Amino acid sequence: MRYSESIWRGASAMTDGTVKGGAMAGGAVNSGAVAMVETWRGTLPESRHRGHAVICDASGGIVAAWGDPEAIIFPRSSCKMLQALPLVESGAADGLSAEQLALACASHNGAEMHVARVARWLAEMGLAESDLRCGTQVPDDAPERHRLRAAGEAPCQLHNNCSGKHAGFLALNRHLGGGSEYGAIDHPVQTAVRAAFEEMTGAASPGWGIDGCSAPNFATTVHGLALAMARMADPRGLGRAREDAARRLVAAMVAHPELVAGEGRACTELMEAMGGAVAVKTGAEAVFVAILPARGLGVALKIEDGATRASECAIAALLVRLGAAEADDPAVARRLRPPILSRRGFLAGDIRPAEGFWQGGAAI
Amino acid sequence: MRYSESIWRGASAMTDGTVKGGAMAGGAVNSGAVAMVETWRGTLPESRHRGHAVICDASGGIVAAWGDPEAIIFPRSSCKMLQALPLVESGAADGLSAEQLALACASHNGAEMHVARVARWLAEMGLAESDLRCGTQVPDDAPERHRLRAAGEAPCQLHNNCSGKHAGFLALNRHLGGGSEYGAIDHPVQTAVRAAFEEMTGAASPGWGIDGCSAPNFATTVHGLALAMARMADPRGLGRAREDAARRLVAAMVAHPELVAGEGRACTELMEAMGGAVAVKTGAEAVFVAILPARGLGVALKIEDGATRASECAIAALLVRLGAAEADDPAVARRLRPPILSRRGFLAGDIRPAEGFWQGGAAI
């Protein structure tokens, strides 16, 4: 599917990040989130997703923004490559493969290919599944889920979408010599993660919460997260160890997109569609980031309501506007304007970028 | 769980339906939806759901409202009791049981109890599964889903959450003598449904779309949907046939909450918790309605982003404020303030009504 050329050429300038809405009832004022994605049914909009997005360079200079760049968010799994920085720059990852580093940055499906690799990694360290502190998760991967049910097996911690990140935490922990509860907020592993996170985002974290995998997740702003991604894209000046670590992690992600997420997943398919030129990563509650090394740019977005269908549509839209992805590539189109079908297969509507987010659509 | 009494007694008056947000970025203006539900992680809000809600009486008089009462929405499955009115008032439902009428109003889980009853109903009419036009659906009910997989059976149209509504359409169609494609917009069944819908909502529908079950779904305003629910609650003056039909349908819903949704579902558990005094019904894309016969009130709400976690929290909050449900009833608390746990069982945060929606919380 291809969008009208006129949309691309129509407006000559970027919007200022605001969207004028319809009639206001009672003078309601929002907190800066702007309409980014809508679902339509027939000829009417049915639902609307608001959010914040920032595209910036490694100095923090904003190239484009929507909503409130300073909105505080939890990056959730979108920052796994930041959480993996101490693993690599400490030397703890010396000898680790690109596959292992991709898994350290992954929110994987818990498919056999993920589970087996994490199990092998743990074995290489002389550790076992029971050393993980991520908790168990029913795998998203349907074949593995059905295999478990047929075999009467319970899912284990290896199936947790974060098991690769936790294997990375364990590898770092072996290097640091910390205790077994490596997910505790005051554990040396998390102290190192926090330091790297705050250096990359450029500010002290305004707070932290417990992530789904029970590890700390540090809050930042949308702008801070985009800055961190721009620094992953262009790590010059961060010091040799961090520069090398950033380049190695981004290279690992784009070399093994199937390990970063899994079959049919947005991260995997979008990275494959962009041929290794751009790394992308999703996070729970509708965060999405992109790292564009060729342009030295970072992207971060958060849909304020936490809907993944919207964060996937929005990142696809931004990647197209950045010239990094093609709107008619099936992997992109599937996120950018997925049809909504009835259970008999009738076309009922679609999900699409909101007009104010998508228009003003000169290439960025 | 019990909310602070001070919240209940604090503000003396209703809010005017508006919420003041934080700092605005670039003068963004929304279309009237106000913050109704938030998710919190640690000490910070993580995601926010905005929406519209109206509580009104059978004359359309607004008792309380949030957001834009005139926002146009698709009621989706929340209006199934309206779609069932022609079935009953035509006489086509003479001899049907309360269980069958509850199924006609249902978005069921496709459990054995639902599937068997719809199959029997079709057989009583001399019809079969193949006469349905709702399409197939993998049942939400886990035991039935696992049974199908183990038996190597495919789900059928009886498993579609709307199969009871469609059995009702077929019953009406037999009465009207229409063709087999009873879901077509110009079919006598849908003409009758539209007429009843517009009479109950008090206005011509501004548009229609194809619902998940492939039948037409007519748009209305949040106020229009609340008015229709108030008229279901207090159908006096609607004419003898409609009055009887409305009372019979509401009685069927509250008598068989397990057939209206299913095990663990919000509609079922909330109706059970309220002991038959109130009928509630969810609709896709985060619509929820309530019918309060004892007070002659109707409630309708729409979360603009379509998130069910938020519509369930919001309807629970309104039912508590209306004095129809108890905040510390487990079935209510599970929707009103569900904890967010990590996969190791750590308490990471919760989902809760937004302050501006919940406060000003004198009983309505």
Write out pLDDT tens, residues A323-334: 999 999 999 999
pLDDT of residue A126: 98
Give φ, ψ of B117 to 5 degrees: -70, -40
Instruction: Confirm or reject contact between B149 and chain A (CB < 8 A).
Output: yes
Share of chain B above pLDDT 90, in %: 88
**Could A42 and B208 be called an inter-chain contact, meaning their C-beta atoms sit closer than 8 Å?**
yes
Nearest chain A CA: its distance from B344 CA (Å):
5
Instruction: Confirm or reject contact between B68 and chain A (CB < 8 A).
Output: yes
| B310 neighbourhood in chain A, CB within 8 Å | 305
Give the mean model confidence (pLDDT) for residues B150-173: 98
Query: b/e for B223-252, b at 16 or more Cβ within 10 A?
Result: bbbbbbbbbbbbbeebeeebbebbbbbbbb
pLDDT of residue B358: 79
The whole-chain average pLDDT of chain B stands at 91
The whole-chain average pLDDT of chain A stands at 91
Residue of chain B whose alpha carbon sits nearest to that of A286: B47
Give φ, ψ of A361 to 5 degrees: -90, 35
pLDDT of residue B21: 24
Q: Which residue has the tokens 């894209």?
A: A233
pLDDT category, A356, cuts 50, 70, 90?
confident
Question: CA B226, CA B213: separation in Å to the nearest integer?
Answer: 23
Instruction: Confirm or reject contact between A149 and chain B (CB < 8 A).
Output: yes
Ordered DSSP codes for A153-164: PPP-GGGSTTHH
Q: Is B75 helix (H, G, I), strand (E, B) or coil?
A: coil
Q: Is B310 helix (H, G, I), strand (E, B) or coil?
A: helix
Given a cut of 50, whether residue B353 has pLDDT beyond it is yes
Q: Is A212 helix (H, G, I), strand (E, B) or coil?
A: coil
DSSP-derived secondary structure letter, A129: G
DSSP-derived secondary structure letter, A187: S
pLDDT of residue A285: 98
Q: Which two tokens stand for residue B7?
A: 């919240």
- How wide is the angle at C-alpha A332 spanned by C-alphas B306 and A269, nearest 5°? 100
| A30 neighbourhood in chain B, CB within 8 Å | 21, 24, 28-30, 50
ipTM of the complex: 0.90
| A24 neighbourhood in chain B, CB within 8 Å | 29-32, 68
Given a cut of 70, whether residue A15 has pLDDT beyond it is no
Nearest chain B CA: its distance from A239 CA (Å):
33
Instruction: Confirm or reject contact between B74 and chain A (CB < 8 A).
Output: yes
Q: Which of residues 183-222 of B touch A (CB under 8 A)?
A: 206-214, 217, 219
| A214 neighbourhood in chain B, CB within 8 Å | 342-344, 346
Nearest chain A CA: its distance from B351 CA (Å):
12
Q: How many other CB atoms sit within 10 Å of the CB of residue A301?
A: 28
Of A137, A304, A348, the CB nearest to B343: A137
Q: Which of A260, A282, A281, A262 is nearest to A106 (CA)?
A: A260
pLDDT of residue B31: 65
Given a cut of 80, whether residue B243 has pLDDT beyond it is yes
pLDDT digits (tens, 9 = 90+) for A186-202: 999 999 999 999 999 99
Ordered DSSP codes for B166-210: HHHHHHHHHHHT--S-TTSTTSHHHHHHHHHHHHHHTS--S-EEE
Question: CA A269, CA A157: separation in Å to the nearest integer?
Answer: 25
